[in-house]
Amino acid sequence: MMPRRRDRVAPPPRKGGWDCRYASNAAANSWEQFGASVPNNIRSAWELITADPRNRSKRQHPLRGRFATATVNGIQLPQWQYEVTGGGRIWYCIDDDKKTIWVTAVHPGHPKATE
């Protein structure tokens, strides 16, 4: 969908930096809904993920087991998680060839699938 008048302006990636895109419409919709409830947290998460998608911390780490990879545009990529809040998570894949981070899922509460 092309941007239209009154749409929010998304910042472009920095020169040599990571581009951040939605892997699905569901991820885009969840991002918007979650971002409306915790805007500062989601902005901080976006800044940290796009600065270094492989930074390992208490909040940011690769997923394991069946969630360790996901297919985006027909390519299997490593999948990571960023803990936005006590329960909220952003799942994303890292495409080194395109220097793109693909947001695959946004969970406002702890993802049931990982319990």
List of domains in the chain = 19-109 (3.30.2310.20)
Over its C-alpha atoms, the chain yields an Rg (Å, rounded) of: 14
Read off φ and ψ for residue 44, nearest 5 degrees: -60, -40
Checking if the pLDDT of 42 tops 60, the result is: yes
Token pair listed for 107: 């969970």
One-letter identity of residue 110: H
Check: pTM over 0.95? Answer yes or no: no
Segment 67-85 shows an average pLDDT of 97
Confidence band, pLDDT 50/70/90 cuts, at residue 112: low
Q: Which band of pLDDT confidence, cut at 50, 70 and 90, is reported for residue 96? A: very high
